[in-house]
Amino acid sequence: MTSNQIKRPLGLQLLIYGFVLLWLIVAAFPFFWTMWGSFKVELDFFSKGDWKHAISGVRTQAVYGESFTGAGYEGAWIQEEFWRAFSNTAIVCFFTVLTSLTIATLGGYALSRSGFRYSFWLLIIALVFRALPPITLVSGYLPPFYAWNVWGLLPTTIIVLVAINQPFTLWMLHSFFQTIPKELDESAKVDGCTQFQAFRHVIIPVMWPGVITAGLFSFLLAYNDFAVTAVLLNQDNQTMVPKIASFMGTTQTEGNVMFAVAAVVSSIIPLFLLVLFFQRQLVSGLTAGAVKG
Partner 1 sequence: MKHKTFFWFFLPTALAMLLFIALPLTSVVSQSFHAPHEEVLLVSEICDPFGCATESTIDHQATEQLKKDKPLGQWVGFEIYTDRNHLAFKEVAEFWQTRSSFTGFISSLNNLQFYRAMGFTLTYVIVVTPLVILFGLIIALAVNSLHRHLKGLMVFFSLLPMIVTPLVGSLILFWMIDARGIVGSGLQEIFSDPNLSLKASTGLTWVTLIVYGVWHSAPFAFIVFYAGLQTVPKETLESAMIDGATRFQQVIHVVVPHLSPLVAFVALIQLMDNFRVFEPIVGFSASAHATSLSWIIWNDIGQEIRLFSSAATTSVLTIIGVVILLLPVLIRTWREFNPEK
Q: In the window 262-281, what residues touch partner 1 (CB under 8 A)?
A: 264, 267-268, 271-272, 274-276, 279
d(CA 234, CA 148): 15
d(CA 56, CA 219): 37
Nearer to partner 1 by Cβ, of 65 and 292: the residue is 292
User: Are the C-beta atoms of residues 129 and 167 closer than 8 Å to each other?
Assistant: yes
148 counts as binding partner 1 under rule CB under 8 A: no
142 counts as binding partner 1 under rule CB under 8 A: yes
90 counts as binding partner 1 under rule CB under 8 A: no
Per-residue x/- track, 163-182, partner 1 (CB under 8 A):
xx-xx--x------------
User: Cβ neighbours of residue 38 under 8 Å, at least 6 residues apart?
Assistant: 45, 72, 73, 258, 261, 262, 264, 265
Angle between helices 257-292 and 10-37 (to 10 degrees): 140
Binds partner 1 by CB under 8 A, chosen from 75, 92, 113, 215: 113
- Contact region for partner 1 (CB under 8 A) — 21-29, 59-67, 75-83, 204-212? 21-29
Per-residue x/- track, 49-78, partner 1 (CB under 8 A):
--x--x------------------------
d(CA 197, CA 213): 24
245 counts as binding partner 1 under rule CB under 8 A: yes
Number of residues that bind partner 1 (CB under 8 A): 100
1 counts as binding partner 1 under rule CB under 8 A: yes
User: Cβ neighbours of residue 137 under 8 Å, at least 6 residues apart?
Assistant: 164
